[in-house]
Amino acid sequence: MGNQAKLSASGNDYDFPVLKGSVGPDVVDIRKMYGQTGMFTFDPGFTSTASCESALTYIDGDEGVLLHRGYPIGQLAENSSFMEVSYLLLNGELPDADELSNFEFTISRHTMLHEQLLQFYRGFRRDAHPMAVMCGVVGALSAFYHDSTDISDPQHRKISSHRLIAKMPTIAAAAYKYAIGQPFLYPDNSLSYTGNFLRMTFGVPAEPYELHPAVEKAMDRIFILHADHEQNASTSTVRLAGSSGANPFACIAAGIACLWGPAHGGANEAALNMLKEIGTPDKIPHYIERAKDKNDPFRLMGFGHRVYKNYDPRATVMQTTVREVFDALKVTDPLFETALRLEEIALNDPYFVEKKLFPNVDFYSGIILSAIGFPTTMFTVLFALARTVGWVAQWNEMISDPGQKIGRPRQLYTGPTQRDYIPVDQR
Ligand code: CMC
């Protein structure tokens, strides 16, 4: 018999199995707890609860480690491509050369949108936030691809996964084009996944678009850094939505909605807005004091993480990438100096040291994205684009699990106990 965890409650002792992962903390298996004890556990923010079993991504927050299928994020960001990482996440192993080119070819065959779907954009106000457009248009995909929504059929799941990964750049670029009043560009499948996205975003039909190789590489790396991140809020949302058997397009739309929040994917937009508000390094101490003040809702955006209690390894790569993009484009941004100084001051401040608050992936990403030419409102859209592969890989993993059940948390009820209805004239 393996390890057991003991619970003593109301004069009784109970044993629960302790499960071991390949690495990381053991977990106490409490699936039978309610049946045996009549009690639930209480963990509203899932701070101590593993919601599923997964073989995709591993994070050691204390050490600042992030592995996809075992491979460190730093190695993937340095040597791999977003398409290769996507294959890895979906299939479990790195592809050989043929597998990679077949995968790239397959994805490139699905980049176009149904022509009618483009009409949807015209229903939105021009000043709509592109994340609002993303929620709507991605959700609408389920109205167009009926031939791939039978989730019990692995082939349907595969095609819908490929469609989502392939169409996301086209959908995101169209959201941008619509906002600025330029014509939509159709995909050009002779380009790389990332090159095609940049062209659809920044190109115009009137003239050829020249891809900047260093920008294409930096963008691809940013996509790699955002590809998956274990059971974060949006991934858990996708899993929960999918656990009821909802179709994958609807599930990914749910993930996008969750990602939008400033505590999650919306932090990249909020972080750059914050740096703009701070402006010059001399204003930093004032904002540091505000961040520490419990009565002030201001927080250092792009700082802190539920899991990382060390430097987010993605932030390290982001910081290097800022310099590469600046060199390639021969630009600079004084906000980068402000960000570096802010990081330095915060990392030497006892408040941030004691609470183990470090820069996360969003702290530097906005500086790169704005150097490339994206408005802040597009930042979270780019996150959604890249995270789609993680979402579909996690969704597929869940649906393929024979033990999968609908997600149905319980609660600690604190409302009124049963009482009788009183007619309105007697209240
Ligand atoms: N600035 C100032 N104080 C902070 C910050 C911050 N950015 N983050 C956490 N704290 C404090 C917080 O007030 C709390 O203090 P106390 O223990 O005295 O009450 C302590 O640190 C722990 O914070 P928490 O809110 O209990 O931690 P959490 O795990 O619930 O929240 C977080 C994690 C990421 C939501 C939070 O750190 C935060 O709001 N950061 C800013 C937003 C951000 O950058 N989000 C992006 C996360 S990475 C990308 C992604 O997931 O999409």
User: Would you call 305 a catalytic residue per the annotation?
Assistant: yes
Q: Tell me the per-residue pLDDT of 343-376, one tens digit each, with 9 for 90 and over.
A: 999 999 999 999 999 999 999 999 999 999 999 9
Residue 1 has pLDDT above 90, yes or no: no
* Alpha-carbon dihedral 221, 225, 227, 231, rounded to 10 degrees: 180
Name the nearest CA neighbour of 248 among 139, 116, 384: 139
pLDDT for 369: 95
**CA-to-CA distance for 55 and 35, rounded, in angstroms?**
28
Q: What is the mean pLDDT of residues 190-205?
A: 98
User: What is the C-alpha radius of gyration for the chain, rounded to an integer number of angstroms?
Assistant: 23
Q: Tell me the per-residue pLDDT of 123-182, one tens digit each, with 9 for 90 and over.
A: 999 999 999 999 999 999 999 998 888 999 999 999 999 999 999 999 999 999 999 999
Residue 340 has pLDDT above 80, yes or no: yes
Q: What is the pTM of this model?
A: 0.94
Measured from the CA of 307, which atom of ligand 1 is nearest? 29
Whether 275 lines ligand 1, by a CB cut-off of 6 Å, is no
**CA-to-CA distance for 342 and 355, rounded, in angstroms?**
16
Q: Tell me the per-residue pLDDT of 304-320, one tens digit each, with 9 for 90 and over.
A: 999 999 999 999 999 99
User: Of all helices (H) and strands (E), which one includes residue 427?
Assistant: none
Cα-Cα-Cα-Cα dihedral sign, residues 66, 71, 77, 82: negative
For 65, half-sphere exposure in the C-beta direction (CA atoms, 13 angstrom radius) is 13
Q: What average pLDDT does the chain have?
A: 95
Q: What is the mean pLDDT of residues 88-98?
A: 98
Q: Tell me the per-residue pLDDT of 209-220, one tens digit each, with 9 for 90 and over.
A: 999 999 999 999
Whether 267 lines ligand 1, by a CB cut-off of 6 Å, is yes
Confidence bin at 2 (pLDDT 50/70/90):
confident
Q: Which tokens hold the place of 422?
A: 């009183």
pLDDT for 18: 98
Nearest protein Cα to ligand 1, atom 45: 263
Confidence bin at 90 (pLDDT 50/70/90):
very high
Residue 232 has pLDDT above 60, yes or no: yes
User: SS3 of 149, please?
Assistant: coil
The rounded Cα 275 to chain-centroid distance in angstroms is 22
Q: Where do the DSSP E strands lie in 171-320?
A: none
Whether 291 lines ligand 1, by a CB cut-off of 6 Å, is yes
User: SS3 of 109, please?
Assistant: coil
Percent of the chain at pLDDT above 70? 100
Residue 23 has pLDDT above 80, yes or no: yes
Q: Tell me the per-residue pLDDT of 254-297, one tens digit each, with 9 for 90 and over.
A: 999 999 999 999 899 899 999 999 999 999 999 999 999 999 99
